[in-house]
């Protein structure tokens, strides 16, 4: 009998009693994407419970918003999701414009699409590179930052800032593009397109990466919906939802006339003339690999949208229009608008009492909802899988803590 | 959610739960009696024709006494308002629920107003309610784990209330 137990490879130390242990991960941990603290209840290598502690980066953004005019709050939205500040500017601007019944010019609309989709590429590049770091590979991070740097250079040329842009603002954009910018942007896209193959070779199809992510942290569509998950996290679970198509008319009107398909597995891959790596046989819908892959698909999708936007913007001869006054009064009432930011659906809620300063502003953070699901995904996984799962959610703490 | 007959269905299923509505507003909203909130949410999630299967956001608005200069024009009495933004993934429509609470329970300063927790209806509401409790000071009865989420656990006061005063000192750190 003893012989039999000794031979069983699953039982390694059958006479060693294991105890539950609380392991603290963070807040200063390289794989937690900012100051996130996770308390793991572990038994050996198995995690029985994960409890995220957030708030280390809380900067009272909503309270500050109650003391500034709508346009003055734009820089604070930059600092929420600082990896996709353009998209955050856009979300807040549209929410204010919704309440003001304001419509931007055609030229500003196409420029906004162009800028927002470039921002999405930049954000997904960081998401991809940092995910590689979480799983212990350094080089994809450098490859991703090499290309992101070029996007930041383009942004810098357009608005002067490299991280916190405040470029898109209520009523339009702060400035038009400098001459020659579109050509540089096209050059970047031409150069960037073949590079995506490198990313697929480095990560997507890498055997170790697939082993670390396929069938890990599987999230059912029902769970994702109940927790209010959104963006690549939701679409990675096979739910066909994208605010650019399903959102409110003020937002979807921005993408009127643009051809794109939501990046979700059942829709196939878009654009169709691009080469995509095969889905590994171990991967199941809703696992870490799929959440990662949706982002890679969206990079290609955004690239295609940028090309379309360049053509439309260049064809627009009308004026760009001026942003609203800094002290513009906002009509009394409330408006809530969700936009599709790279991390998910970012909602801005604004209540005005008729003056220039909002009575209440609220930022509904996508990463906040996406992170709330962690304890469900990590139940019963290995300690080494925790960074893989948290990394696949692609969270930004600035947006969660606000 | 502007569908015809939706409000009638809700009123027929749960009489007395709806205390007001504005379906022609920018974001159509329904005002719910605080005591019936959980029933309404459960109905919206499980029984209504459009299943609101996702909770996007819970906001607390502190309608504090208006500025004396503007008091003549103010249209509200002091109260706390909870705003629930719900979303239906299948039908791709949203709805807004509003719940009016007193600023303090029984008008005794320091006593937090109470409302039923919807964390049992959507698990995603758990963190949102914790945030509302933390920043705006609303107590959700029946919440599985109502603690502060953004502020430290020993923080005093609820910062998003309009009459909040920043502490002068916190563990030896000088404020103001």
Quick one: residue A215, left, alpha or beta (phi over 0 = left, psi -120 to 50 = alpha)?
A: left
User: Which whole number is the average pLDDT over A161-172?
Assistant: 89
Q: Does A346 touch chain B (CB under 8 A)?
A: no
**pLDDT higher than 70, residue A148:** yes
A164-178 as b/e: b if 16+ CB within 10 A: bbbbbbbbbbbebbe
Of B57, B70, B159, the CB nearest to A349: B57
Tokens standing for residue A37 = 């603290």
Kindly report the nearest CA distance between residue B156 and chain A, in angstroms: 15
Closest Cα to residue B94, out of A77, A89, A349?
A: A349
Question: Which pLDDT belongs to residue A2?
Answer: 47
pLDDT digits (tens, 9 = 90+) for B143-170: 998 999 998 888 888 998 888 888 888 8
User: Which whole number is the average pLDDT over A106-121?
Assistant: 91
The verdict on whether omega for the bond into residue A271 sits within 30 degrees of 0, i.e. cis, is: yes
B79-88/B54-63 β-pairing: antiparallel
pLDDT digits (tens, 9 = 90+) for A279-289: 888 888 888 99
In this prediction, residue A30 has a pLDDT band, given cuts at 50, 70 and 90, of low
User: Which whole number is the average pLDDT over B44-72?
Assistant: 84
Fill in the DSSP letter of residue A382: B
User: Which whole number is the average pLDDT over B25-40?
Assistant: 88
Interchain pair B53, A225: CB under 8 A: yes
Question: Which pLDDT belongs to residue B133?
Answer: 92
What's the longest Cα–Cα distance across chain B?
A: 59
**pLDDT higher than 60, residue A75:** yes
Of B25, B87, B151, the CB nearest to A55: B151
Interchain pair A336, B152: CB under 8 A: no
Query: What percentage of residues in chain A have a pLDDT greater than 70?
Result: 94
**pLDDT higher than 60, residue A178:** yes
Kindly report the nearest CA distance between residue A224 and chain B, in angstroms: 9
**B142 to A352, B28, B52, B119, B145: CA distances (angstroms):** 32, 28, 21, 8, 9
Tokens standing for residue B75 = 């249209």
**pLDDT higher than 50, residue A278:** yes
Interchain pair B124, A368: CB under 8 A: no
Question: Which pLDDT belongs to residue A152?
Answer: 93
Q: Which residue has the tokens 């009308």?
A: A318
Of residues B75 and A304, the one with the higher pLDDT is A304
B149 to chain A: which residues are within 8 Å by CB? 54-55
**pLDDT higher than 60, residue A74:** yes
Distance of CA A92 to the CA centre of its chain: 16
Of residues B83 and A277, the one with the higher pLDDT is B83
Q: Which of B:21-50 have CB within 8 Å of A?
A: 25-27
Length of chain A: 402
Question: Which pLDDT belongs to residue B91?
Answer: 85
Of residues B136 and B50, the one with the higher pLDDT is B136
Of B85, B87, B124, the CB nearest to A227: B124
CA pair distance B48, B70, nearest whole angstrom: 42
Cβ neighbours of residue B26 closer than 8 Å, sequence gap 6 or more: A98, A99, A333, A334, A335
A60 to chain B: which residues are within 8 Å by CB? 159
Helix or strand (DSSP H, E) at A363 = strand A360-364
Residue B1, domain member (yes or no) = no
Interchain pair A239, B26: CB under 8 A: no
Question: Which pLDDT belongs to residue B165?
Answer: 85
Of A239, A345, A369, the CB nearest to B124: A369
Nearest-10 crossing angle of helices A288-315, A385-392:
20
Kindly report the nearest CA distance between residue B158 and chain A, in angstroms: 11
Question: Which pLDDT belongs to residue A43?
Answer: 85
In B, minimum Cα distance to A61 occurs at B160
**B19 to A35, A263, B85: CA distances (angstroms):** 43, 42, 18
Q: What is the CATH number of domain A53-401?
A: 1.10.645.10
Q: Does A99 touch chain B (CB under 8 A)?
A: yes
Interchain pair A55, B150: CB under 8 A: yes
Tokens standing for residue B139 = 């107590």
Fill in the DSSP letter of residue A322: P
User: Which whole number is the average pLDDT over A148-166?
Assistant: 91
- Average model confidence (pLDDT) across chain B: 85
Q: Is A268 exposed, middle or buried (0-12, 13-18, 19+ CB in 10 A)?
A: exposed
Q: Which domain holds residue B17?
A: 6-174
In B, minimum Cα distance to A230 occurs at B56
Of residues B5 and A280, the one with the higher pLDDT is A280
Q: What is the full DSSP assignment across chain B?
A: ---TTHHHHHHHHSTT-EEEEETTSSS-EEEE-GGGHHHHHHHHHHTSSS---EEEEEEEEEEPPPPTTTTTT----SEEEEEEEEEETTTTEEEEEEEEE-SSGGG-TT---EEE--TTT-TTHHHHHHHHHHHH--EEET-TT---SSS-TT--S-TTSTT----SEETTEEP-
Closest Cα to residue A397, out of A37, A110, A13?
A: A37
Tokens standing for residue A192 = 């960037």
pLDDT digits (tens, 9 = 90+) for A375-396: 889 888 888 888 889 889 888 8
> What is the rounded (10 degree) CA torsion for A308, A229, A238, A84?
30
Distance of CA A373 to the CA centre of its chain: 16
Question: Which pLDDT belongs to residue A324?
Answer: 87
Q: Does B93 touch chain A (CB under 8 A)?
A: no
**pLDDT higher than 90, residue A93:** yes
Question: Which pLDDT belongs to residue A320?
Answer: 84
- When mean pLDDT is compared across A3-17, A63-77, A380-394, B69-83, the lowest value belongs to A3-17
Interchain pair B123, A226: CB under 8 A: yes
Residue A54 three-state SS: coil
**pLDDT higher than 50, residue A1:** no
User: Which whole number is the average pLDDT over A77-104?
Assistant: 91
Interchain pair B59, A360: CB under 8 A: yes
Of residues A7 and A379, the one with the higher pLDDT is A379
Q: Where are the domains of chain A?
A: 53-401
User: Which whole number is the average pLDDT over A195-222?
Assistant: 88
- ipTM of the prediction: 0.86
Interchain pair A228, B56: CB under 8 A: yes
* Contact in structure between A351 and B61 (CB atoms under 8 Å): yes
B42: domain CATH number is 3.30.460.80
- For chains A and B, count residue pairs whose Cβ atoms are closer than 8 Å: 84
Tokens standing for residue A161 = 């800032």
Interchain pair B149, A55: CB under 8 A: yes
Kindly report the nearest CA distance between residue A8 and chain B, in angstroms: 40
What's the longest Cα–Cα distance across chain A?
A: 86
Q: What is the full DSSP assignment across A259-296?
A: ------GGG--SSTTS--PPPPTT--TTSHHHHHHHHH
Interchain pair A349, B26: CB under 8 A: no
Q: Does A228 touch chain B (CB under 8 A)?
A: yes
CA angle B93, A108, B57 (to 5 degrees): 30
Residue B107, domain member (yes or no) = yes
Question: Which pLDDT belongs to residue A76?
Answer: 92
B139-141/B114-116 β-pairing: parallel
In this prediction, residue A33 has a pLDDT band, given cuts at 50, 70 and 90, of confident
In B, minimum Cα distance to A250 occurs at B26
Q: Does A209 touch chain B (CB under 8 A)?
A: no
In B, minimum Cα distance to A346 occurs at B56
Tokens standing for residue B163 = 């009459």
User: Which whole number is the average pLDDT over B65-76?
Assistant: 75
Helix or strand (DSSP H, E) at A346 = strand A344-352
């Amino acid at each position: 009998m003893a012989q039999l137990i000794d031979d069983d490879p699953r039982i390694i130390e059958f006479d060693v009693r294991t105890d539950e242990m609380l392991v603290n991960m963070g807040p200063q941990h390289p794989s937690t994407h900012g100051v996130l603290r996770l308390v793991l209840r572990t038994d050996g290598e198995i995690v029985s419970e994960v409890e995220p502690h957030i708030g280390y980066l809380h900067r009272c953004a909503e309270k500050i918003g109650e003391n500034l005019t709508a346009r003055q709050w734009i820089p604070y939205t930059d600092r929420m999701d600082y990896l996709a500040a353009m998209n955050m500017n856009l979300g807040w601007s549209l929410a204010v414009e919704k309440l003001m019944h304001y419509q931007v010019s055609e030229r500003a609309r196409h420029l906004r699409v162009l800028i927002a989709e470039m921002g999405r590429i930049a954000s997904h590049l960081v998401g991809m590179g940092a995910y590689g770091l979480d799983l212990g590979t350094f080089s994809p991070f450098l490859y991703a930052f090499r290309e992101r740097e070029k996007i930041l250079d383009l942004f810098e040329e357009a608005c002067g800032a490299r991280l916190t842009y405040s470029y898109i603002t209520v009523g339009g954009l702060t400035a038009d593009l400098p001459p020659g910018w579109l050509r540089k942007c096209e050059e970047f896209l031409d150069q960037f397109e073949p590079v995506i193959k490198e990313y697929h070779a480095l990560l997507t199809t890498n055997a170790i990466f697939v082993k670390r992510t396929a069938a890990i942290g599987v999230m059912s569509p029902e769970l994702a919906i109940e927790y209010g998950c959104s963006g690549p996290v939701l679409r990675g679970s096979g739910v066909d939802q994208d605010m650019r198509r399903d959102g409110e008319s003020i937002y979807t009107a921005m993408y009127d006339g643009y051809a794109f398909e939501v990046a979700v597995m059942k829709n196939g891959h878009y654009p169709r003339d691009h080469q995509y790596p095969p889905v590994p046989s171990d991967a199941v819908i809703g696992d870490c690999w799929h959440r990662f892959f949706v982002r890679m698909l969206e990079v290609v999708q955004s690239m295609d949208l940028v090309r379309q936007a360049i053509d439309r913007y260049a064809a627009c001869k009308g004026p760009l229009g001026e942003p609203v006054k800094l002290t513009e009064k906002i009509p009394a009432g409330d408006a809530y608008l969700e936009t599709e930011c790279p991390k998910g659906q970012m909602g801005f809620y604004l209540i005005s009492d008729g003056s220039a300063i909002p009575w209440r502003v609220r930022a509904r953070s996508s990463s906040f909802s996406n992170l709330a699901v962690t304890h469900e995904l990590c139940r019963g996984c290995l300690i080494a899988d925790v960074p893989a799962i948290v990394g696949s959610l692609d969270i930004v703490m600035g947006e969660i803590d606000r | 959610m502007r569908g015809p007959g939706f409000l009638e269905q809700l009123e027929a299923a749960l009489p007395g739960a709806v205390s007001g509505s504005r379906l022609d507003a920018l974001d159509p909203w329904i005002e719910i009696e605080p005591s019936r909130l959980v029933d309404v949410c459960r109905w919206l999630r499980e029984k209504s024709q459009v299943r609101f299967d996702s909770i996007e956001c819970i906001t607390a608005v502190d309608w504090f006494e208006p500025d004396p200069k503007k008091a003549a024009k103010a249209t509200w009495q002091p109260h706390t308002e909870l705003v629930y933004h719900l979303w239906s993934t299948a039908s791709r429509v949203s709805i807004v629920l509003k719940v009016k609470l007193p600023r303090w329970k029984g008008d005794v300063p320091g006593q937090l107003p109470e409302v039923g927790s919807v964390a049992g209806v959507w698990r995603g509401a758990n963190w949102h309610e914790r945030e509302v409790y933390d920043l705006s000071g609303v107590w959700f009865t029946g919440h599985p784990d109502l603690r502060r989420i953004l502020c430290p656990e020993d923080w005093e006061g609820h910062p998003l209330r309009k009459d909040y005063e920043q502490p002068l000192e916190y563990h030896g750190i000088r404020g103001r």
